[in-house]
Structure 1
Amino acid sequence: MGNNWEEPLLDVHHREEHENKLRFVENFGIESKKLWKIAGPVILTAVCQYSVSAITLTFAGLVGDLDLAAVSVGNSVISGLAFGLLLGMGSALETLCGQAFGAGQKGMLGVYMQRSWLILLATATILLPVYIFAPPVLEFFGETAVISEAAGKYSLYLIPQLYAYALNFPIQKFLQAQSKVLVILWIAIVVLILHCVYCWFLIFKLRWGIVGAAVSINTSQWLLVIGQFLYIVLTKSDGAWTGFSWLAFRDLYGFFKLSVASAVMLCLEFWYLMILVVLVGRLENPIVPVDAISICMNIQGWDMMIALGFNAAISVRISNELGAGNAEAAKFAVVVVTITSLSVGILVMAVVLGTRAYFPILFTSSEAVARETTRVASLLGVTVLLNSVQPVLSGVAIGAGWQSLIAYVNIACYYIVGLPAGILMGFTFHLGDMGVWGGMIGGIVVQTIVLVIIAAVRNWDKEARQAETRIKRWGGTANSEHLIS
């Protein structure tokens, strides 16, 4: 009898706990819809743009082995270098445009995009010698003279793509910050369809070879730029575009420093697994291991399209919420995207491990390569699982403006821990390609743990205040200067 008074209290406690769970599920659903509204189109856009290179490579292979090698090397090494660097520098806009949009400073988005154009166009010009002198650059890294000359010719014709990158990446970040991702997707789909026609006509029908491949890619990249910019100019992007402004020339040095920090952060990640193929190529009897790793990296590349979608989505959500001063909403967005992306990663890992005895035959007719690919596919499964978390946490860092901090984290985890571990296990302990890859996975694991800790211990209320300070420092108002007529 004496304990009857406890029963109502327990009922109240259980009811509150039940209501909290229902509230969490409801809020999770709302945030998940916002996340997928951005991530879905970004994933499909990334697949379309990734397919442009893949389709070009396929048509080049129909012409001849040398054309295939030239396009492959030109895209992966010369163009890949510029892609990683310029995309990284353009990623500074994810922080600035996203936070300005969240704070209601729409007019500054166009100014930020113009500043990024100036910096990226200057960077593209600095990169020109790499394109012009591609043959000696490629030979320095061990490529044969024949392939280097062919890839060098291809790279010369590919220079227009370099400047398209410099304009396209800021435009995409400008639109993504406003969640206008469906526009980017539809333009990418149209361009991909047209690209198939260009490749068929120029490479296969006219047999222009590497010249046709370069013209096709240049045309497609510039159509992306023109299509997206026309949309911005015609719609004014709901007030985010107010025309060309002299404000674009203000504080370029400070903007450049943030762009460089973003580039270093992204490039250290972008190049990390590329080094894996190079290291495996230095093993004894490397042909079979290199082929096996290349097949796995191809699949990992497609999986990265999903990761990039979540990366962009959480970057937009974090920057928008911090810009609006909603620290709790930003924290909750991190929880939702991590759970969602991890669930997708577990599913992809299960598919990889479940089909590891079968998918290699889609890429090779060699039994030795197929067996080796099946053997190392377990590491591919681990990699795709880590890719479901690590890029998401990098997106959180970009949205919050932690690029400089994460650049140091990447250097330490990837190049002081992971890379030496891979070399030690692969060469010193004679574990071959499994050892190299396993050691480098260790670097990703350490980096992921560090990013989780950073995200967990940050004071998000302070981050929101810093976002407000950042907007004031970089912006003012877009109408405070006369526009260029």
Structure 2
Amino acid sequence: MDEEEQNEADLKRRIWIESKKIWKVAFPATISKFFAFGTLVVTQSFIGHISGIDLAGYALVQSLIVRFINGILLGMSSATNTLCGQAFGAGQNHMMGIYLQRSWIIELITLTILLPIFIFGTRIYKLVGQEESVANSGGYISLWFIPFVYSYVFSLTIQVFLQAQLKNMIIAWLSAFHFAIHIPVSLLFVYTLNTGVAGAMIALSLSSWFLVISEFVYVFGGWCPHSWKGFKVSAFKDLMPAAKLSISSGVMLCLELWYYAILVLLAGYMEDAKTKISAISICLNINAWEFMISIGFLVAACVRVANELGSGNVKAIKFSIKVLLGTSMAIGVFFFVLCLAFGEKLAYAFTDDDRVADTVSDLSLLLAFTIFLNGIYSVLSGVAIGAGIQGVVSIINLVCFYVIGIPLGGLLGYLTTLKVKGIWVGMIFGVLTQIITVGYITWRTDWDGQVKKASERLERFYLHSEENPEQISNES
């Protein structure tokens, strides 16, 4: 074998090894996000067959408020991923439980501050100009979402805590049980007990808290002996620096996740708002199903970059980013084709209204492009989270999405005959500018400098282990 063939074989072997590391994180993360989102979609399906108005109300709450809160909490949880991932790579396992407890404190306070958004939902929807019937339904449903979103604080943070230390399959199994329980519980409350919309929302909260309790049992029950040392008073130390990182992470992901939800809001000002809101919500849900895979790669990028930064391996970081982007783009092409082929048929899983299904079919090309771009910017976002540069990407997201994308979409939607399509085209352009900008920053990043910054960050937060103050054992 000549030198060229040897190098090619060596490259294939390295890609295979890195791919196994990526999928070890991405696959369980995808499964868990898939089932977590599946519970929301199942609930939407039940409500959609109860009432068209309630379907629009649920779509409004889920697409605007819940997506906003989910973005904040998911982003803040990603800060835990940054700290735990780098701590695991550096062998500071005992600090991971402290980071987890700090995230609970910070996120519970944050969510409680944001609670009036749910309590005054009806007034908010009317204030932004939504139809009265849809606003009233959305306000009622938003109250039922309160116990559900509180479960997010614990489920999201525990999941990133486990992912950072490569305990991935337990997350997938618990999420599968969560989804499996949700369906019969929904059938019980909606059809057997005939409790309608309220029953569907009760079932959503019950199944979500089942997941949280299961995660508590795993963490507290001794399956994380090196990273969970019990509740510590030290969790209340350094809250402000941790909160700063959490908030920047929350803003970054919230700006991404809430971006397409603006479509629902702007569609509410157009003629036949109920049909357009329902159709766009269905498109966003189809997009979100595939986005679960993209989130899996976001998590994988975050874990791989954070772990390698913690261990100081710059070459591994660069190679991992290349493999992540290549794999994610290939998956995006597959779903692009699939979406074009089956877009209209998928709509009937959510509605019986032919007008809504036809509107979904008309939007399928734009949906396909959105799905393709998901994988690219998710990987780049994961790299940013793993490196701890969320603040920079937050500013980029704000400019590209809300200064460029939405205004351009508004111009195309309201000043041309494109209507909803025009809004979506403008927003896709915003995503493209974000990908180009963040991609350039990733390419130009001084990773040796990032290794130094990660070391300084871990040193600033570091507390000696009570069991062994001199040495830190790494968990295999």
Pair in the same fold by TM > 0.5:
yes
Q: Does residue 110 of the first structure (1) align with residue 64 of the second (2)?
A: no
Offset at 1:67? 4.8
Which of 450, 455, 461 pairs up with 1:463?
A: 450
**Partner Cα distance (1:294, 1:133) in 2:** 22
Offset at 1:70? 4.7
Q: Does residue 447 of the first structure (1) align with residue 434 of the second (2)?
A: yes
Q: Does residue 423 of the first structure (1) align with residue 389 of the second (2)?
A: no
Is the CA contact 2:68–2:257 (under 8 Å) kept in the aligned structure 1?
no
- Corresponding residue of 1:215: 202
Which of 371, 376, 384 pairs up with 2:371?
A: 384
- Closer, same or farther: CA 211–191 of 1 in aligned 2, 3 Å: same
- Corresponding residue of 2:474: none
**Partner Cα distance (1:459, 1:375) in 2:** 45
Which of 315, 320, 323 pairs up with 2:310?
A: 323
SS in 2 for 1:477: coil
- Corresponding residue of 1:42: 29
Is the CA contact 1:42–1:309 (under 8 Å) kept in the aligned structure 2?
yes
Is the CA contact 2:71–2:255 (under 8 Å) kept in the aligned structure 1?
no
Give the stretch that moved more between structures: 238-247 or 278-287.
278-287
Offset at 1:159? 2.6
Which of 244, 247, 254 pairs up with 1:260?
A: 247
- Closer, same or farther: CA 150–108 of 1 in aligned 2, 3 Å: same
Offset at 1:365? 6.0
- Corresponding residue of 2:125: 138
- Corresponding residue of 1:11: none
Is the CA contact 2:67–2:257 (under 8 Å) kept in the aligned structure 1?
no
Offset at 1:245? 1.0
- Corresponding residue of 1:124: 111
SS in 1 for 2:466: helix
- Closer, same or farther: CA 299–464 of 1 in aligned 2, 3 Å: same
Give the stretch that moved more between structures: 224-233 or 190-199.
190-199
Instruction: Kindly provide the amino acid, as one letter, of the partner of residue 289 in structure 2.
Output: W
**Partner Cα distance (1:212, 1:369) in 2:** 25
**Partner Cα distance (2:124, 2:167) in 1:** 39
Give the stretch that moved more between structures: 447-456 or 347-356.
347-356
Offset at 1:72? 4.0
- Corresponding residue of 1:202: 189
Offset at 1:367? 6.0
- Corresponding residue of 2:472: none
1:4-43, aligned counterparts within 5 Å? Answer: 15-43=2-30
- Corresponding residue of 2:87: 100
- Corresponding residue of 1:340: 327
1:138-157, aligned counterparts within 5 Å? Answer: 138-157=125-144
Offset at 1:405? 0.4
- Corresponding residue of 1:413: 400
Which of 174, 186, 197 pairs up with 1:187?
A: 174
- Closer, same or farther: CA 421–121 of 1 in aligned 2, 3 Å: same
- Corresponding residue of 1:79: 66
Give the stretch that moved more between structures: 105-114 or 178-187.
178-187
Offset at 1:161? 2.1
- Closer, same or farther: CA 267–281 of 1 in aligned 2, 3 Å: same
1:259-338, aligned counterparts within 5 Å? Answer: 259-283=246-270, 290-338=277-325
- Corresponding residue of 1:240: 227
Instruction: Give deviations 1:32-83, integer Å, cap 9, x for gaps.
Output: 0111111111111111111111222233344444554554444444433322
Which of 137, 144, 161 pairs up with 1:174?
A: 161
Offset at 1:445? 0.6
- Closer, same or farther: CA 374–145 of 1 in aligned 2, 3 Å: closer
Instruction: Kindly provide the amino acid, as one letter, of the partner of residue 193 in structure 2.
Output: L
Offset at 1:126? 0.9
- Structure 2: runs of 5+ lacking an equivalent: 470-476
Offset at 1:424? 2.0
Give the stretch that moved more between structures: 79-88 or 234-243.
79-88
**Partner Cα distance (1:153, 1:236) in 2:** 40
SS in 2 for 1:88: helix
Instruction: Give deviations 1:213-266, integer Å, cap 9, x for gaps.
Output: 232122122111111111011124140001111211111111111111001100
- Closer, same or farther: CA 236–361 of 1 in aligned 2, 3 Å: closer
**Partner Cα distance (1:418, 1:171) in 2:** 34
Is the CA contact 2:57–2:137 (under 8 Å) kept in the aligned structure 1?
yes
- Closer, same or farther: CA 435–159 of 1 in aligned 2, 3 Å: closer
Rg comparison, structure with higher value: 1
Is the CA contact 1:314–1:334 (under 8 Å) kept in the aligned structure 2?
yes
- Closer, same or farther: CA 354–69 of 1 in aligned 2, 3 Å: closer
**Partner Cα distance (1:202, 1:349) in 2:** 37
- Closer, same or farther: CA 292–334 of 1 in aligned 2, 3 Å: same
Instruction: Kindly provide the amino acid, as one letter, of the partner of residue 113 in structure 1.
Output: L
Give the stretch that moved more between structures: 230-239 or 463-472.
230-239
Instruction: Kindly provide the amino acid, as one letter, of the partner of residue 203 in structure 1.
Output: V
Give the stretch that moved more between structures: 210-219 or 335-344.
210-219
SS in 1 for 2:14: helix
SS in 1 for 2:130: coil
Offset at 1:374? 3.6
Instruction: Kindly provide the amino acid, as one letter, of the partner of residue 106 in structure 1.
Output: N
Offset at 1:150? 4.2
Give the stretch that moved more between structures: 22-31 or 368-377.
368-377
Instruction: Kindly provide the amino acid, as one letter, of the partner of residue 41 in structure 1.
Output: P
Instruction: Give deviations 1:123-170, integer Å, cap 9, x for gaps.
Output: 121122222222222222333444444443443343322322222221
- Structure 1: runs of 5+ lacking an equivalent: 1-13
Give the stretch that moved more between structures: 28-37 or 48-57.
48-57
1:390-401, aligned counterparts within 5 Å? Answer: 390-401=377-388
Is the CA contact 2:64–2:262 (under 8 Å) kept in the aligned structure 1?
no
Task: Give percent identity, aligned residues only.
Answer: 39
Instruction: Give deviations 1:386-441, integer Å, cap 9, x for gaps.
Output: 11211111011101111000001101111121112212222234432222211111
- Closer, same or farther: CA 204–447 of 1 in aligned 2, 3 Å: same
SS in 1 for 2:363: helix
SS in 1 for 2:312: coil
Instruction: Kindly provide the amino acid, as one letter, of the partner of residue 204 in structure 1.
Output: Y
Instruction: Kindly provide the amino acid, as one letter, of the partner of residue 196 in structure 1.
Output: I
Instruction: Give deviations 1:83-130, integer Å, cap 9, x for gaps.
Output: 222222111111111000111100000000000000011112112222
Instruction: Kindly provide the amino acid, as one letter, of the partner of residue 336 in structure 1.
Output: V
**Partner Cα distance (1:72, 1:293) in 2:** 9
Q: What is the alpha-carbon root mean square deviation over aligned residues? A: 2.4
Is the CA contact 1:327–1:460 (under 8 Å) kept in the aligned structure 2?
yes
Is the CA contact 1:246–1:481 (under 8 Å) kept in the aligned structure 2?
no
**Partner Cα distance (1:357, 1:221) in 2:** 30
Is the CA contact 2:56–2:277 (under 8 Å) kept in the aligned structure 1?
no
TM-score (norm 2): 0.92
- Corresponding residue of 1:53: 40
Total equivalences in the alignment: 469
